[in-house]
Amino acid sequence: MALRQLLAFGGSTWLGGVRHARRHANSIFATAGPGRTTDPVIGRVQTARAVVGALTTFGLISVYGVDGGWSAVFEDGLTKLFVAPLVLLLVGPLVIAGFIWYVPPQHRPVLRSRLRYPLRAIAWYLGIPLGAVAGFAVLALLLKVSQGIFALQAVISLAILIVGLPFLVWAAAFLVFSSGSAARYAFNTADVHAALPAVLTAVLVWVLNVVQLGDGLPNGPLGVQMAAFLGGPLSVTAVSAWELHVLRTRHNVRVRG
């Protein structure tokens, strides 16, 4: 009975840590800053496009199949979850620099001052996992070099079990939740300018599509292959262009206004 209660307590503790990681990721990426303009219609259209894209992909795979089966589809989706933020970290600075250069000179100091919001999000996104891995590696190294010193080994082992492993799991959960949020909110670049995420998303989807080209085109006739290859980026670009139109007409948000 005591063992069952201990396991239940441990399970609830781990689950609570995962929930806390999710809340913390949302607090970093989903909290609106001074430059962000929210429009529920834009959010619904983006969600609808994502659902239609997922259903289209499911239909194409069901009809024409995919190399490696559904497990390959799952692995590809999981890979994209982590690749998208990394590509955004590489491409984003160039797009942001071009965006700030494009706006009128009198607006540039304000936009540059707001760069602290995406920089803070990037610091959290990279710092938590790297810090967790580094801290766990240090504890493991200390455990190795303390061989023969029983008391010290016991203390380090206890620290790994009580602090190291829970924090490593928390950091892994944070990375999973924040990866989706980082791609969705483009590392809080909406806090720099409301139109910036739409521009970044359009650029990001084409870069990811070119990267994905290394895996080859999907199965099916040539027309289906081209439609599958171009359909996603074109639809995302169309939604991004429509988003810029909505921001300009409904919220008076202009890149050069």
Give the tens place of pLDDT for each residue, 36-62.
777 888 889 988 988 888 888 788 777
Look at 90-99, 121-130, 144-153, 196-205 and tell me which has the smallest mean pLDDT: 144-153
Rg (CA), the chain: 23
Question: What's the whole-number mean pLDDT along residues 4-27?
Answer: 67
Instruction: Indicate whether 256 belongs to any domain.
Output: no
| Residue 255, in any domain of the structure | no
Distance, in Å, from the CA atom of 118 to the CA atom of 215, rounded to the nearest integer, reads: 31
**Which tokens hold the place of 38?**
């929210």
Give the three-state DSSP class for 257: coil
Question: What is the reported pLDDT for 26?
Answer: 87
Tokens 């206890």, residue?
158
Local structure of 216: helix, strand or coil = coil
* pTM for this predicted structure: 0.81
Q: Highest mean pLDDT: which of 8-17, 82-91, 154-163?
A: 82-91
- The residue with tokens 């619904």 is 44
In a domain, 28, yes or no: yes
Q: Is the pLDDT of residue 223 over 80?
A: yes
Confidence grade of residue 257 (pLDDT, cut at 50, 70, 90): low
- pLDDT of 127 over the 70 cut: yes
What are the distances in angstroms from CA 163 to CA 135, 156, 176? Answer: 10, 10, 20
Provide the domain limits for residue 129: 2-250
SS3 content of the chain, % helix, strand, coil (to 5): 85, 0, 15
CA dihedral 210, 212, 218, 222 (to 10 degrees): 10
Domain-located, residue 257: no
In the chain, how many domains are there?
A: 1
**What CA–CA distance (Å, rounded) separates 91 from 94?**
6
**Any domain includes 94:** yes
Structural domain includes residue 132: yes
Top pLDDT among 192 and 256 is at 192
pLDDT score of 34 more than 80: no
In a domain, 59, yes or no: yes
Q: Would you state the structure tokens that stand for residue 96, as one six-digit string?
A: 């942001």
For residue range 67-91, list pLDDT tens digits in order: 666 666 666 777 777 888 888 899 9
Does 8 have pLDDT greater than 70?
no
- Whole-number mean pLDDT of the chain? 83
Return d(Cα 84, Cα 101) in angstroms, integer. 25
User: Quick check: 177 pLDDT over 60?
Assistant: yes
